[in-house]
Amino acid sequence: MKVYLKTYGCQMNERDSEAVAGMLAARGYEITAQEEDADILIFNTCSVRDQAERKAIGKIGILTRLKRRKPDIYIGIMGCMAQNRGQALLDELPHVDFVIGTGQLHRLPEILAGVIAQRHRELRVEEDHAVLTGMSTHFSRGNRISAYIAVTRGCNRFCSYCIVPYVRGREISREIADIKHEAIELVAQGVREIMLLGQNVAAFGLGGNINPPPPDVSPFADLLTELNDIPGLQRLRFTSPYPSYFNAKLIAAMAALPKVCHSLHLPLQSGSNAILRAMNRHYTAEQYLDIVGQLRRAIPDITFSTDIIVGFPGETETDFLATRRVMNEVGFDNAYIFKYSPRQGTVAATMLDQVPQQIKEERNHILLDDLNRRVAKHNAELRGQIVEVMVEGPSKRNCERWCGRTATNKMTIFDPAPGLEPGDLVQVKITRTTAMSLFGQLTATGGAPV
């Protein structure tokens, strides 16, 4: 039987879809990218903002027609919205056969087999810790050079706007040995870059305790140190860390380990201390800037990206300007700017002073404009310089040119040379830049001049 998998939302969802594809492929299902060919359609959904839920419901809703035409197909919903809405999805969408929450992911093949054998509808949303330990990524991803590894799942922080702790459950960490084993396997398959994933990834190994550890304790730094040793692995990245866990030990490890990339996604959310407090974010703008300063001193060429929410309840013009100021002070090279979206069941959804949509739009635009201008300027400063790029392959826009990323996560486009392979490290001299990309010429591959 052919399975079509569509993924909404974050990298953790992409990883989960890869793991599900791997489990199903191992049981003889064929994974297809063509929706029309599929016997089974599975939607891995997101709940983090209302728009993400509406998009998936809209898409699944119109499949009524397909199901009428082809009554033998199966339609399933997994992921955060499955966990969040459960039975309501089966009630509202009569053509959906199964709804499997985030805690039951590792059982998906078994549940699917039951649904097919008995032609019944199934709802499974219980939380189950085996989801983390019992499931690594088995899917062989061809000549992909970059892979995800989930190292923690769930979140205990309960930021007041966020639904993740409710839909992904309590925070748990895998064992270092287990993660290392998975990383070694991926490298043996040709992977050169690993992205470690967790909703609160730098809290790895702290047993779900939300209090940051003393300066000399960081199980996450221990994990990075172990993985840095793997021969053949070239780059290590991670997302998303909560700022408070960047203590002396973690910063020192990041600076000392050659494979840890010099680009860090560090969610700020707001630059106003009043809003940060209302968000239940346990740091101030000053503390955030202090962490950025420490990282810059230890790793001078580090670049930062971030997440920002505009229009959180009670956000005044002054609060917004504080965010704008902190963003300018850090000088982010990328930022995901979100308009606050009330999520039922979270504390912020019940707060008074909800901000009108129009103001959210305006603030969103202002920050995006600031960002584009700043990044164009940062990138222009790289003109004439030589940067190291890990080759990804032909560029999406123009397949005669190739692309790759710098360790600071800048997309770089260049003319390929004979014998160049995805995963190679090359030197590129930058000749032209935009806010999105760098363009240049190869000067050397693996140390040898071209």
Contact residues: ligand 5AD, CB under 6 A: 48-49, 161-162, 267, 269, 307, 309, 338, 340-341, 343
What does the buried/exposed string (b/e) look like for 150-181 if buried means 16 or more CB atoms within 10 Å of the residue's CB?
bbbbbbbbebbbbbbbbbbbebbbbebeebbe
- From 81, 131, 162, 206, residue interacting with ligand SF4 (rule: CB under 6 A): 162
Contact between 200 and ligand SF4 per CB under 6 A: yes
Is residue 78 classed as helix, strand or coil in its secondary structure? strand
Q: Are 236 and 261 within 8 A, CB to CB?
A: yes
Residue 48 binds what, of ligand 5AD, ligand SF4, none (CB under 5 to 8 Å, by partner type)? ligand 5AD
Residue 24 burial class via C-beta count within 10 angstroms: exposed 0-12, middle 13-18, buried 19 and up: buried
**Can you tell me which of 101, 165, 219, 423 binds ligand SF4, judged by CB under 6 A?**
165
42 belongs to the binding site for ligand SF4 (CB under 6 A): no
Q: Report whether 414 contacts 420 (CB < 8 A).
A: no
From ligand 5AD, ligand SF4, none, interface partner of 200 (C-beta below 5 to 8 A by class):
ligand SF4
Q: Among residues 139 and 312, whose Cβ is nearest to ligand 5AD?
A: 312
**Shortest reach from residue 276's CB to ligand 5AD, in Å:** 12
By beta-carbon proximity to ligand 5AD, the closer residue of 323 and 445 is 323
Minimum gap (Å) between residue 164 Cβ and ligand SF4: 4
Instruction: Kindly tell me which residue out of 102, 137, 146, 199 binds ligand SF4, with binding defined by CB under 6 A.
Output: 199
From the list ligand SF4, ligand 5AD, none, pick the one residue 158 interacts with, judged by a Cβ distance below 5 to 8 Å according to partner type. ligand SF4
CB of 378 to ligand 5AD, least distance (A): 22
- Report strand pairing: 193-197 vs 235-239: parallel
- Least distance to ligand SF4 from the beta carbon of 347, Å? 11
By CB under 6 A, tell whether 83 contacts ligand SF4: no
The answer to whether 281 touches 326, Cβ cutoff 8 Å, is no
User: What's the burial of 284, exposed, middle or buried (CB within 10 Å: 0-12/13-18/19+)?
Assistant: middle
Q: Find the shortest distance in angstroms from Cβ 357 to ligand SF4.
A: 22
Q: What angle do CA 46, 346, 289 make, to 5 degrees?
A: 85
Stretch that binds ligand SF4, among 157-165, 175-183, 338-346, 435-443 (CB under 6 A): 157-165
Token readout for 92 is 């509202």
Give CA–CA dist 198/164, Å, rounded: 11
CB of 309 to ligand SF4, least distance (A): 9
Question: Which segments of 27-129 does DSSP mark as H helices, in order?
Answer: 50-61, 63-69, 80-85, 87-92, 108-118
The smaller minimum CB distance to ligand 5AD, of residues 169 and 416, is found at 169
Question: What does the block give as tokens for 140?
Answer: 């062989």
Determine the 3-state secondary structure of 439 from DSSP.
Answer: strand
Q: Which amino acid is at 366?
A: I
Binders of ligand SF4: how many residues, by CB under 6 A?
A: 10
- Residue 80's binding partner out of ligand 5AD, ligand SF4, none, with CB under 5 to 8 Å set by partner kind: none
Question: 309 is in the binding site of which of ligand SF4, ligand 5AD, none (Cβ under 5 to 8 A by kind)?
Answer: ligand 5AD
Contacts (CB under 6 A) with ligand SF4, residues 237-256 = 242
Cβ closest to ligand 5AD, residue 259 vs residue 343: 343
At its nearest, how many Å lie between ligand 5AD and the CB of residue 107? 26
Pairing between strand 122-124 and 235-239?
Answer: unpaired
Taking CB under 6 A as the criterion, the residue among 57, 82, 112, 159 binding ligand SF4 is: 159
Rule CB under 6 A: is residue 223 a binding residue for ligand SF4?
no
Selection from ligand 5AD, ligand SF4, none that 148 binds (CB < 5 to 8 A by kind) is none
Question: CB neighbours of 220 closer than 8 A, spacing ≥ 6?
Answer: 201, 202, 203, 204, 205, 241, 245, 250
Contact between 191 and 145 (Cβ < 8 Å): yes
Q: Residue 219 CB, nearest distance to ligand SF4 (Å)?
A: 17
Q: How far is the CB of 410 from ligand SF4 (least distance, A)?
A: 25
Q: How far is the CB of 241 from ligand SF4 (least distance, A)?
A: 9
- C-alpha span between 85 and 428 (Å, rounded): 49
Residue type, 146: S
Token readout for 27 is 């049981």
Q: Is 158 in the site for ligand SF4 (CB under 6 A)?
A: yes
Residue type (1 letter), 103:
G
Q: Which residues bind ligand SF4 (CB under 6 A)?
A: 155, 157-159, 162, 164-165, 199-200, 242
